[in-house]
Chains A and B, each alone.
Chain A
Amino acid sequence: MLVKMLPPSIMLKNSLRQVGSDWAIRIRFAGFVWSVAILAALVTSAQARASFDRLLEAVVRIDVRETSFEGGSSRLISGVGSGVILSKDGLVLTNAHVVSPQAVDIWVTLASLERVRAELLGWDHWTDLALLRLDIEDVKERKLRYSVAKFGRSDSLKPGQTVFAAGTPHGLSRTVTKGIISNKERYYRDSTGIRGYETGFFNTWLQTDAAINPGNSGGPLVDADGRVIGINTRTYLGADNLGFAIPEKTARQVMLALESYGEVERSYIGISPGFLQDMEAFYELEANQGLLINSVDPGSPAAIAGIRASDIVLSIDGKHFDGRFPEQIPPIRNLIASYGVGEEISMEVKRGEEMFSVVVVTERLESRVGKEWAFEKWGLTVQEVSRTFARERQLESDDGVVVIGTQSAFPAEKAGLRRGDVISKINQMELAGLDDLKGFYDAYKSSPEALLMETLRNRTVSFKVIKP
């Protein structure tokens, strides 16, 4: 604890001295035989060094300003993250929580200490990845130079293997830290992880003890040859060296989709898997087989097809799988998600003694966060009610908008609107969504008149008046 509290300069001095004396000892006592061995090692390490240097030339710092609708008005917030250049024409991969579609300007600082603008090509909060493109005209005009990082293979990683993280922790540009792969298949799911958006449903994570701090986000995790095997994403704050990265396998697929379509389209059937862990005996299953259904969303494709909680799905289109442990679940979810929207999936289901097949028609997967907007004159920011949000809150429909912020002493706050209220009606008329509310707002702006809002909070209805 004490060591951590020393100022950085002292820590730096100590560690330099250590390295220095280490070298002194080696040079003094190394005999002739050892010198040859060292020479050979130096040659291969020189090659590794060169490719590692290339990687470092591809790591960038990203400064973002984006619109936030949190506090009852739209304001700009800024953040710093990391990224890695993965193509000659300036594709930069980073985290979805570093650059979101609400970004208004994105500045990338290259390793050569030149700054260049970038635009967002695509975004996928489910895997926490975002893809940027550098302003390539500007790059050419200014003859800016950078190198292009190469992907390695996350599948062939071994726990214990040495890895490095490169990025901008706490704004400290071009920081490299070293560690090992601690675990290849960490399960981590967070349904509100990225500013209310879901993350971690479709991938497992690489866990490393290389120091990862806020600002490392979006930077690469690389092997000793500087090949990108993951994108650093999160860490347990307050824990020692528990860092997590999205594996290259996921990153590569998502990057491809984002470059082509700007998004990753996924399918949804509305099941939440449980972990079968040792329950095979109870369900009279062949060992290591099946997926336990913990929960089925009401009205979802799975519910319509007749799947119920505590059913066991034995196979998906004839494919059998093992869903006993948490880390086995994301690939199965990903398999379902990879079906086309509207496609039929046939599933073999076991319920008690009974076995039967169902056909589930997929729907498009949607995020729990709806469109956001600010109504400045009311001091009100809202979000459209999404299907997931409505289900979580047990609302009767996904109509309406939910209040995400009010500004103090503005009409919305004075009317008593609070974060979490769902606005369901205005002047006794049903409010379908954001566009309806924008209509009322425009009318209000041209001739301000009192508006009667009906709001819901925990099924309790309240009436609120917005007054000019």
Chain B
Amino acid sequence: MTKRFIRSLAIGVIAIGVLSSKAEFTLDELFEERRDSVLAVEFFVETEVDRRPVTVNGMVVSNDGVLQLAANAIPGWVSIDKLKEFKVYVLGESKAYDAEYLGSDRAYGWHFVQVEEVLRDRLKPVTDYQLAEMKTGQSLWGIGVAMKNLDFKPYFMRAEVSTIQLLPATVGFATREITSPGSILFDDSGAFAGWGTAPLNMERYLTIEGQLYQAYLRKPDQTTTFFVASELVKTFGGLPSSPDSNDMTWLGVVGLQTIDDEVAELMGLGDQAAISISQILNDSPAAEAGLRERDLIISIDGEPLKRYTPRRVAVADLEQQIAKHGIGETMKLGISRDGETLEVEIVLGQAPKLVRQASRFYFENLGFTIREFLVYDSVSMKLDVEPGETPGVITSFVKTNSNAHTGGAQMGDLIKEIDGVPIDHFDQAIALIEELEADDSKNEFVLLVARGADTSVLRIALK
């Protein structure tokens, strides 16, 4: 009787134990499952003369094998057709799977890559997990990703939440390294807690033979900072229609600066945060709406501008809010101008072409690349260009010791004239140089380039 009771009790206890362990997975079980939510992504950036391999981590964000990559995973100046051979690797395995680049999110800059079908069923999207609640001091664990020569082996990391900041994204800081950039972290119940960002620069002092050096050190493969998952998931879903589509909106303002507290006070704004506008581009939505240089932006769509710490985060916030609007949508900006407050309605336009979308042409025999002139060039070159006017083409690459290099061409030169002919169109420039290359009677040609405040006449040998 007692024996039977003890036996049944023992069975009961074991049963409870089995049940509870099924509900509360051990960390190694959680780790084994969640490692399939991260993949290593490899691709090449092709330039005129070489190919550079890039390896980053991506997190799985959908059931059809879409990975999300950090905004800085791909350099902004690289044109889409120079991104070659996307491959993905399951962490800890050496087999490469094909993948395709889908483009980037216009508001946040995330890049998207889709993996080939055979792999999709194996993957676990992060959207399947519960979302962790974030508290200071809370213990979290993350998945670190080793280097390629270790087959991107995943490893366990742990740290506590140190602080959470609005920058303007909600960013968590851990007490020490907690994951790899682009990889993910969780709480102890397995709820999704965050996505690793690029590591911070750590200020350090080095003393070498009595000489003091200030140095900024950064681990390439581990990070202490992460996007907080509960806010991050709200930004999901900004997949572009095609990799090189341009649905970016713009205001056409340059040199946005937050103003100091003392300045705000002196201008009678009290503790209202404000952003000053340095320059308004010709023909832009801002110009058409009547915004003026030195206007102070104090509210966006009726919401007063947030007072961030540090203050300059407000500019990133504004830029993000502009990007969230679609082309043709209206945005309302509260403006303080000469002590008066007014509200300006702006119909947002399509942003001009980005550097990575510009047309380029490489003259292999001469060793240089020209690319079309962009609105942004007139800003960086401080040119006052009339709407629709093209002052030339840009030299975007010069091969070392090529004829172009020997002749003195430099990256960033604005080519104004080719052999005495003023350039006002990209195709015209290509046609002119091709014609010169084909002309056997010509040994050289002359470029007039602008460089900073000066111009230079360059002689380029054709043979």
A461 B255 Cβ-Cβ under 8 A: yes
Cβ proximity bits A453-468 to B, threshold 8 Å, 1 near / 0 not = 0100011111111010
A467-B257 contact, Cβ under 8 Å, with A392-B452, A394-B453: no
A461-B257 contact, Cβ under 8 Å, with A274-B456, A394-B453, A452-B267: yes
A463 B278 Cβ-Cβ under 8 A: no
Q: Which residue of B lies closest to A309 (CB)?
A: B455
B417 A461 Cβ-Cβ under 8 A: no
| CB of A389, distance to nearest CB on chain B (Å) | 10
The yes or no answer to B294 lying at the interface (CB within 8 A) is: yes
Q: Complex: how many Å from CA A272 to CA B267?
A: 45
B459 A462 Cβ-Cβ under 8 A: no
**Chain B residues closer than 8 Å to A392, beta-carbon distance:** 452-453
A450 B456 Cβ-Cβ under 8 A: no
Most interface-central of A272, A352, A393, A465 (chain B CB within 10 A): A465
**Chain B residues closer than 8 Å to A394, beta-carbon distance:** 382, 452-453
A309 B254 Cβ-Cβ under 8 A: no
The yes or no answer to A101 lying at the interface (CB within 8 A) is: no
**Chain B residues closer than 8 Å to A278, beta-carbon distance:** 459
Q: Which residue of B lies closest to A391 (CB)?
A: B453
A461-B294 contact, Cβ under 8 Å, with A295-B455, A310-B446: yes
Stretch at the interface among B33-41, B228-236, B258-266, B397-405: B258-266
Cβ proximity bits B249-285 to A, threshold 8 Å, 1 near / 0 not = 0000011010110110011000000001111000000
**Chain B residues closer than 8 Å to A393, beta-carbon distance:** 453
The yes or no answer to A77 lying at the interface (CB within 8 A) is: no
**Chain A residues closer than 8 Å to B416, beta-carbon distance:** 309
The yes or no answer to A448 lying at the interface (CB within 8 A) is: no
Q: Complex: how many Å from CA A352 to CA B279?
A: 38
A459-B254 contact, Cβ under 8 Å, with A465-B262, A465-B263: yes
Q: Which residue of A lies closest to B256 (CB)?
A: A460
Q: Complex: how many Å from CA A452 to CA B259?
A: 12
The yes or no answer to A129 lying at the interface (CB within 8 A) is: no
From residue 208 to 263 of chain B, which have CB atoms closer than 8 A to chain A? 254-255, 257, 259-260, 262-263
A292 B457 Cβ-Cβ under 8 A: yes
**Chain B residues closer than 8 Å to A462, beta-carbon distance:** 257, 259, 276
Q: Which residue of B lies closest to A461 (CB)?
A: B278
Q: Which residue of A lies closest to B446 (CB)?
A: A282
The yes or no answer to A76 lying at the interface (CB within 8 A) is: no
CB < 8 Å: which of B262, B266, B278, B455 contacts A294?
B455
B455 A459 Cβ-Cβ under 8 A: no
B459 A279 Cβ-Cβ under 8 A: yes
A460 B446 Cβ-Cβ under 8 A: no
A465-B260 contact, Cβ under 8 Å, with A295-B455, A450-B266, A452-B266: yes
The contact size tier of chain B is: 20 to 34
Q: Complex: how many Å from CA A452 to CA B264?
A: 10
The yes or no answer to B444 lying at the interface (CB within 8 A) is: yes
**Chain A residues closer than 8 Å to B382, beta-carbon distance:** 394, 458-459
From residue 421 to 468 of chain A, which have CB atoms closer than 8 A to chain B? 450, 452, 454, 458-465, 467
**Chain B residues closer than 8 Å to A465, beta-carbon distance:** 260, 262-263, 266
The yes or no answer to B293 lying at the interface (CB within 8 A) is: yes
Per DSSP, chain B at the interface is strand
Query: Between A and B, how many residue pairs show CB distances below 8 Å?
Result: 87
**Chain A residues closer than 8 Å to B388, beta-carbon distance:** none
The yes or no answer to B448 lying at the interface (CB within 8 A) is: yes
From residue 239 to 274 of chain A, which have CB atoms closer than 8 A to chain B? 272, 274
B278 A460 Cβ-Cβ under 8 A: yes
B263 A452 Cβ-Cβ under 8 A: yes
Q: Complex: how many Å from CA A51 to CA B128?
A: 98
Q: Complex: how many Å from CA A461 to CA B255?
A: 7
CB < 8 Å: which of A279, A459, A467 contacts B262?
A467
B260 A309 Cβ-Cβ under 8 A: no
Q: Complex: how many Å from CA A460 to CA B180?
A: 36
A463 B459 Cβ-Cβ under 8 A: no
**Chain B residues closer than 8 Å to A416, beta-carbon distance:** 260
CB < 8 Å: which of A282, A295, A452, A459 contacts B278?
A459
Most interface-central of A292, A309, A392, A464 (chain B CB within 10 A): A309
**Chain B residues closer than 8 Å to A294, beta-carbon distance:** 454-457
From residue 389 to 423 of chain A, which have CB atoms closer than 8 A to chain B? 391-394, 415-416
A295 B454 Cβ-Cβ under 8 A: yes
B452 A282 Cβ-Cβ under 8 A: no
B453 A310 Cβ-Cβ under 8 A: no
A309-B257 contact, Cβ under 8 Å, with A282-B446, A461-B276: no
A463-B452 contact, Cβ under 8 Å, with A309-B457, A450-B266, A452-B267: no
| CB of A241, distance to nearest CB on chain B (Å) | 30
The yes or no answer to B387 lying at the interface (CB within 8 A) is: no
| CB of B341, distance to nearest CB on chain A (Å) | 17
**Chain A residues closer than 8 Å to B444, beta-carbon distance:** 282
B456 A295 Cβ-Cβ under 8 A: yes
Q: Complex: how many Å from CA A460 to CA B454?
A: 21
Q: Complex: how many Å from CA A459 to CA B378?
A: 12
B457 A460 Cβ-Cβ under 8 A: no
Q: Complex: how many Å from CA A391 to CA B453?
A: 7
Q: Which residue of B lies closest to A465 (CB)?
A: B262
The yes or no answer to B420 lying at the interface (CB within 8 A) is: yes
A463 B260 Cβ-Cβ under 8 A: yes
B448 A310 Cβ-Cβ under 8 A: yes
**Chain A residues closer than 8 Å to B420, beta-carbon distance:** 310, 352
Q: Which residue of A lies closest to B420 (CB)?
A: A352
A460 B255 Cβ-Cβ under 8 A: yes
Cβ proximity bits A278-304 to B, threshold 8 Å, 1 near / 0 not = 110110000000001111100000000
Q: Complex: how many Å from CA A415 to CA B446?
A: 49
| CB of A233, distance to nearest CB on chain B (Å) | 26
From residue 304 to 334 of chain A, which have CB atoms closer than 8 A to chain B? 309-310
| CB of B381, distance to nearest CB on chain A (Å) | 8
From residue 347 to 405 of chain A, which have CB atoms closer than 8 A to chain B? 352, 391-394
**Chain B residues closer than 8 Å to A279, beta-carbon distance:** 446, 457, 459
CB < 8 Å: which of B263, B293, B454, B459 contacts A464?
B263
Q: Complex: how many Å from CA A402 to CA B262?
A: 22
CB < 8 Å: which of A309, A352, A391, A458 contacts B448?
A309
Q: Complex: how many Å from CA A432 to CA B324?
A: 42
Q: Complex: how many Å from CA A44 to CA B456?
A: 54
**Chain B residues closer than 8 Å to A460, beta-carbon distance:** 254-255, 257, 278-279
| CB of A368, distance to nearest CB on chain B (Å) | 12
Q: Complex: how many Å from CA A392 to CA B254?
A: 21
| CB of A70, distance to nearest CB on chain B (Å) | 22
From residue 110 to 149 of chain B, which have CB atoms closer than 8 A to chain A? none
| 10 further A-B pairs in the complex, CB-CB below 8 A; given A310-B457, A394-B452, A459-B278 | A274-B456, A274-B457, A282-B459, A310-B455, A392-B453, A394-B453, A459-B254, A459-B382, A462-B257, A463-B263
Nearest 3 CB-CB pairings of A with B: A460-B255, A465-B262, A461-B278
23 pairs from A and B in contact (CB 8 Å cutoff): A279-B457, A282-B445, A294-B454, A294-B457, A295-B456, A296-B455, A309-B416, A309-B456, A310-B448, A392-B452, A394-B382, A450-B262, A452-B267, A459-B255, A459-B278, A459-B279, A461-B255, A461-B294, A462-B259, A463-B259, A464-B260, A464-B263, A465-B262
Residues of B within 8 A of A (CB): 254-255, 257, 259-260, 262-263, 266-267, 276-279, 293-294, 382, 416-417, 420, 443-446, 448, 452-457, 459
